[in-house]
Amino acid sequence: MESIVELKDVTKVIKGRTIIDKISFQVNKGEVFGFLGPNGAGKTTTIRMIVGLMGITAGDITIGGYSIKSKFEEAVSHVGAIVENPEMYKFLSGYQNLVHYARMSKGITKEKIDETVELVGLTGRIHDKVKTYSLGMRQRLGLAQCLLHDPEVLILDEPTNGLDPAGIREIRDYLRLLAREKNMAIIVSSHLLSEMEMMCDRIGIIQNGRLIDVQLVQEFVHGTEVIYELEVIPREKALLLVLENYPNVPATRSRNGISAELPKEEIPNLVKLFVGEEIQVFGIKEVAKTLEDRFLEVTSEKEAISRG
């Protein structure tokens, strides 16, 4: 995979406070990269630096091989971005907004506008006034606006903010389509784990201005261990038995019994153990870890490391 956006030791200090601390990562063509972190972690600040809305204190960002510091124009010419709410004239139609925008940049043809409207699925409503649009439609119009000049990199800060589940699904599907069909590199930020899980190929987790992990979503979610739901009676006795026999295994009470994070090959032994202790086993179910489980694991691991 060919990388197109590269951050190297990017640092931002504002009024003596380090907001972003030596962040490095790269984003490849054709992938959706998610920038995930709690409020105040530094997502917007990093994105503002990537799109040139904010200067960099130290380190560098290159886009398409051009440094944002020394070749700003060339670097940002590859980028389409929605960082703040896109400006729209509500009393004009979606189409008129796009025509107006196209006039401001060179070389955008009527065919290009039509093709883009089609791509974001607004063809049926594009001649209606923007004030009649739902939030999701406005987001798509904003997306169309940034796609008009065929960017190779698309950057969206919290693109699903304020959308309902159907709107979220729509945006998600368009982004995946753009990455796949146009080989675009897409960077999105969010504080919602579940959304990132469905939208992204890779995610970078940012916490307190530091990038603490970058992983493929699949690897991130499906670590080596799996959680097993064990439907057992009596539950307390079963839990005690697991904790005694597998002191390093995370195990807790669950709705119908207990859940434990065990290697698969231990399951037959555990069942034998339960039966020997007259614990009734009604069922064993493998549950995939959610991104949220992993997120909590990763952030608490890193916190433990930084505490020493």
Ligand X SMILES: Nc1ncnc2c1ncn2[C@@H]1O[C@H](COP(=O)(O)OP(=O)(O)OP(=O)(O)O)[C@@H](O)[C@H]1O
Interaction of residue 191 with ligand X, rule CB under 6 A = yes
3-state helix, strand, coil in the chain (%, to 5): 40, 30, 30
Stretch of residues binding ligand X (CB under 6 A), selected from 36-44, 77-85, 90-98, 217-225: 36-44
Rounded to 5 degrees, what are φ and ψ at 208? 45, 45
Interaction of residue 160 with ligand X, rule CB under 6 A = no
Rounded to 5 degrees, what are φ and ψ at 234? -80, 145
Interaction of residue 275 with ligand X, rule CB under 6 A = no
| Out of 4, 5, 10, 19, the residue judged to bind ligand X by CB under 6 A | 19
CA nearest to 297, candidates 243, 261, 244, 253: 261
Which residue number, 48 or 149, has a Cβ lying nearer to ligand X? 48
Q: How far is the CB of 215 from ligand X (least distance, A)?
A: 19
Interaction of residue 210 with ligand X, rule CB under 6 A = no
**DSSP letters along 266-289, please?**
GHHHHHHHHHHTT-EEEEEEEEPP
Written as one letter, the residue type at 267 is I
Q: How far is the CB of 175 from ligand X (least distance, A)?
A: 19
Rounded to 5 degrees, what are φ and ψ at 297? -60, -50
Interaction of residue 234 with ligand X, rule CB under 6 A = no
Interaction of residue 40 with ligand X, rule CB under 6 A = yes
Q: Residue count at the site for ligand X (CB under 6 A)?
A: 11
From CA 116, how far away is CA 105, in angstroms rounded? 15
Contact between 12 and 19 under an 8 Å Cβ cutoff? The reply is: yes
Which residue number, 40 or 283, has a Cβ lying nearer to ligand X? 40
Interaction of residue 37 with ligand X, rule CB under 6 A = yes
| Out of 4, 29, 32, 44, the residue judged to bind ligand X by CB under 6 A | 44
| Out of 5, 41, 61, 130, the residue judged to bind ligand X by CB under 6 A | 41
From CA 230, how far away is CA 17, in angstroms rounded? 49
Query: Which residues sit at the interface with ligand X, rule CB under 6 A?
Result: 14, 19, 37, 39-45, 191
